[in-house]
Structure 1
Amino acid sequence: MSVAPTCRLCAGPVHQWMDLGRQPASNSFPRPDETGAERFFRLAVGICADCTMVQQLEAMPTDHMFRADYPYRSSTSDGLSRHFEEVAGWLRRTELTGHTDLVVEIGCNDGVMLGALGAAGVRHLGVDPSAGAARDAALRGAEVRVSFFDEAAAIAIRAERGPARVVFSANTISHVADIATVFRGVDRLLTPDGVFVFEDRYVGDIVEYAYFDQIYDEHFYLFSVRAVDAMATRFGFELVDVERISIHGGSLRFTVARPGARPRRDSVTRMIDDEARYAIGEYETYRRFARQIDRVGTDLVALLTDLRAAGRRVVGYGATSKSATVTNYCGIGPDLVPFICDTTPEKQGRLSPGMHIPVRPHAAFVDPYPDYALLFAWNHAEEIMLKERRFTAQGGRWILYVPQVHVV
């Protein structure tokens, strides 16, 4: 009988519920002459029987995922830009009310939020390992330290700038397999009454709506409220608030503070109770999810194969990180999807990770329009479909695969 792997957080037994096979670094996008140097790993996912944290069983090394040329940019989405500008306003109203207050953002990317705070005169610092993203953030007026965030970085930041009233992060904390290093850094940096606020995708929504492509190398953990509550306690903090937000198809905003520093809001207990009601912490819930993933993959390949046989032209829309999971798990290559269009210059002229589908500029989508567009960026569907009204007006159809394969 094999021994279950142990949880990265509490050392409890982790039971595998899905294996999505051999997967590449989801944001690698090699040039045509670089395909032989790609790094792959086994994307298997399990749930801890003790703390219920959903986690990958193997970790892609962080220096393979977050390189100097990391191509993702938050500002390419109007919806994300608006969201982070709203977050900046919310922080100014609620936490950053003193003229000397400091906010540190972990994984600031191209500085959409920090640029808004800097323009308002708020003391700030971003921490991001991507030199390219940091350069773009600087163009927005944001101050960035190019490094990973850990205890050593936090000590250096505090020595240079003093303690932080707020440590903020969006869609980053779940990326760090050794998450204890983050909490040690937060402990070093945060004021006694400060808060650590982080947003991340919610595993409850991922299961309910079959967002299986939210599982890829960067999303080492999939957070539930119960698991984050246990995680915060384990590292000497307390989860004091949780709020649902719509970004990325369904996310949560967690607020963590030092024990006793803030009152614990009813939202935490309420959501933990809801998770128990819907069995979010149960192994069998995830096994059912795995079977649903299998059905989606089979149906998507069947649809694309039938469209090819009928002479229909299908192209991909949005060379997202998520698309790596879909294409590699389902075996979708250039024979079924000749190219993916994307507006990010850093991805254009390159190939999709693993399956090597060419990535082309948006101009390739409109000249001429395809018969069908496989929407990998489904979390921005409303924004994209509004932008591409002419495509649908000329008879174009969208293929989506969550929560099931369907055509609109």
Structure 2
Amino acid sequence: MKKNSCRLCGSKNLFEFLNLGFSPISDQIVTKEQLDEPEATYPITVNSCTDCGFCQLGFVVPPELMYNENYSYDGSATMGLRKHHISIANQICDNFKLDHDSLVIDVGSNAGVLLSGFRDRDCKVLGIDPSVNVANIARDKGIEVIGDLFSSELAERIKKEHGQVSVITGTNVFAHIDNLHDFLKAADILLNENGIICIEAPQLMTLIENLEYDTIYHEHLSYLSLRPLRDFCKKMHMDIFNVEFYEIHGGSFRYFIGRENLREISENIPKFLELEEQKEIYKKSRLEKFALDVKNQKQELNSLLWKLKKEGKKIVGISAPAKGNALTNYCKISPDLMDYITELNPLKIGKFSPGMHIPIVEEDRLLIDKPDYGLILAWNFADEIIKNNQKFVENGGKFIIPIPHPKIV
């Protein structure tokens, strides 16, 4: 479905600044039986609202096509991500004095890592996630998960059954939601008087600065920045009262949102608003330069990989995240160039990447086959991946980090 108006302010004054072509859904891993079946692809274009500055995809894939039994993202698969989620739970419990009477809801709860952190602090927890396979991982840990999309209708039901909520969290989920007005409406229904929303998501500033174009795919409907979100929350009678920057996922903002005029506004708000202006992320010329830089980066990466291939080097991929599938599809990296991709996530092993159909194999193949180069597709966890694969390095293997510019390490 084409998106012709701004998701936040409703303006139709949008301009398209990036076109990554057509691609399949990045988290829909392909089985062997599906290889010969037609694979649906959808456009990936990005628009900016000239009225409020918000950036969003120009085409919205229906959520039921993305978040189903084939959804393969497991947030518990990476040690760094697990530690990060536990730190979020501890921060919120400490700063907002949560206790055994506090109910925390995690929207897009996935494998339940964040909720496990809250449960360890004696909070009551409830997950919301429509993706059956990853939600079952959380259920196996004893966490209650509602298999549905978050909405005001669902919020009314939860309030009736569970009462009001102290905290609503959403890590890497807010950008996945089409109707953000209804999200805040649902939050307003559920939150108690002093309740807060904590949202963490990759932010536009570092996406542009570090050429993180592989973060742009169908699940990510929006590319968040502070100025338009602050104005949007104000219209919904809420305040972003604090925002913090974290390196996770290539650069993310953690937004703290509460009812308007209830809390003092942190000095971080004007600081980051000023930084956004300095980086010119709301200027058409800067966005157009980003699009040109993306095209040039694609050429750089392909040139390096084909040079190594012509030299007789064996190249494999390391990790098969959605961003890696976005990159291989945009850059047309096929099994002719990259033999296979190694993975830890059992939901992906033995299957194939969407679009390019690169085989996904167990991680130990890296030591058995001893390829020359490993392209780190989950580059946002490059340090952890390199540390965990020192035997590959000792065997003479080298890593390639693709973003922002391809480099061999």
TM-score range for the pair, normalised by the shorter chain length: over 0.9
Superposition deviation, residue 288 in structure 1: 0.7
* Partner Cα separation in structure 2 for residue 389 and residue 84 of structure 1: 26
Specify the SS of the correspondent of 1:186. Answer: helix
1:76-91 superposed matches below 5 A:
76-91=77-92
* Partner Cα separation in structure 2 for residue 230 and residue 404 of structure 1: 34
* Partner Cα separation in structure 2 for residue 306 and residue 277 of structure 1: 38
* Partner Cα separation in structure 1 for residue 327 and residue 117 of structure 2: 35
- Determine the structure 2 residue equivalent to 1:163: 164
Structure 2 counterpart of 1:31, which letter?
T
1:192-211 superposed matches below 5 A:
192-211=193-212
Q: Deviations over 1:34-92 (max 9, x none)?
A: 14243211000011101111110001111111113321111110001101111111121
- Determine the structure 2 residue equivalent to 1:7: 6
Structure 1 counterpart of 2:282, which letter?
G
Gaps of 5+ in 1: none
- Determine the structure 2 residue equivalent to 1:103: 104
Specify the SS of the correspondent of 1:33. Answer: helix
* Partner Cα separation in structure 2 for residue 69 and residue 29 of structure 1: 7
Does the CA contact (< 8 Å) of 1:20 and 1:329 recur in 2? yes
* Partner Cα separation in structure 1 for residue 235 and residue 20 of structure 2: 30
> So what's the TM-score if we normalise by structure 1?
0.96
Does the CA contact (< 8 Å) of 1:115 and 1:141 recur in 2? no
* Partner Cα separation in structure 2 for residue 5 and residue 128 of structure 1: 28
Specify the SS of the correspondent of 1:71. Answer: coil
Q: Deviations over 1:335-354 (max 9, x none)?
A: 00111111111111111011
* Partner Cα separation in structure 2 for residue 163 and residue 364 of structure 1: 49
Superposition deviation, residue 109 in structure 1: 0.5
Specify the SS of the correspondent of 2:82. Answer: helix
Does the CA contact (< 8 Å) of 1:216 and 1:324 recur in 2? no
Does the CA contact (< 8 Å) of 1:332 and 1:355 recur in 2? yes
Superposition deviation, residue 96 in structure 1: 4.5
Specify the SS of the correspondent of 1:338. Answer: coil
* Partner Cα separation in structure 2 for residue 132 and residue 326 of structure 1: 25
* Partner Cα separation in structure 2 for residue 395 and residue 142 of structure 1: 44
1:177-192 superposed matches below 5 A:
177-192=178-193
Structure 2 counterpart of 1:17, which letter?
F
* Partner Cα separation in structure 2 for residue 241 and residue 116 of structure 1: 22
Does the CA contact (< 8 Å) of 2:373 and 2:397 recur in 1? yes
Superposition deviation, residue 114 in structure 1: 1.0
Does the CA contact (< 8 Å) of 1:95 and 1:165 recur in 2? no
> So what's the TM-score if we normalise by structure 2?
0.96
Residue 16 of structure 1 pairs with residue 19 of structure 2:
no
Gaps of 5+ in 2: none
1:332-343 superposed matches below 5 A:
332-343=333-344
Structure 1 counterpart of 2:26, which letter?
S
- Determine the structure 2 residue equivalent to 1:30: 30
- Determine the structure 1 residue equivalent to 2:407: 406
Superposition deviation, residue 281 in structure 1: 1.3
* Partner Cα separation in structure 1 for residue 174 and residue 348 of structure 2: 24
Residue 132 of structure 1 pairs with residue 136 of structure 2:
no
* Partner Cα separation in structure 2 for residue 340 and residue 287 of structure 1: 33
Structure 1 counterpart of 2:24, which letter?
P
- Determine the structure 2 residue equivalent to 1:245: 246
Specify the SS of the correspondent of 2:17. Answer: strand
Does the CA contact (< 8 Å) of 1:96 and 1:102 recur in 2? no
Does the CA contact (< 8 Å) of 2:29 and 2:70 recur in 1? no
Q: Deviations over 1:291-313 (max 9, x none)?
A: 11111101111111111111100
Does the CA contact (< 8 Å) of 1:112 and 1:140 recur in 2? no
Structure 2 counterpart of 1:181, which letter?
D
Structure 1 counterpart of 2:29, which letter?
F
Structure 2 counterpart of 1:28, which letter?
Q
- What is the percent sequence identity of the aligned residues? 30
Does the CA contact (< 8 Å) of 1:76 and 1:344 recur in 2? yes
- Determine the structure 2 residue equivalent to 1:363: 364
- Determine the structure 2 residue equivalent to 1:324: 325
Does the CA contact (< 8 Å) of 2:126 and 2:143 recur in 1? yes
More displaced 10-residue stretch of structure 1: 29-38 or 312-321: 29-38
Structure 2 counterpart of 1:6, which letter?
S
Does the CA contact (< 8 Å) of 1:202 and 1:250 recur in 2? yes
- Determine the structure 2 residue equivalent to 1:40: 41
Structure 2 counterpart of 1:101, which letter?
S
Q: Deviations over 1:194-237 (max 9, x none)?
A: 11110000111111111111111111111111121122123232
- Determine the structure 1 residue equivalent to 2:313: 312
Does the CA contact (< 8 Å) of 1:349 and 1:358 recur in 2? yes
Superposition deviation, residue 383 in structure 1: 0.5
Specify the SS of the correspondent of 1:272. Answer: helix
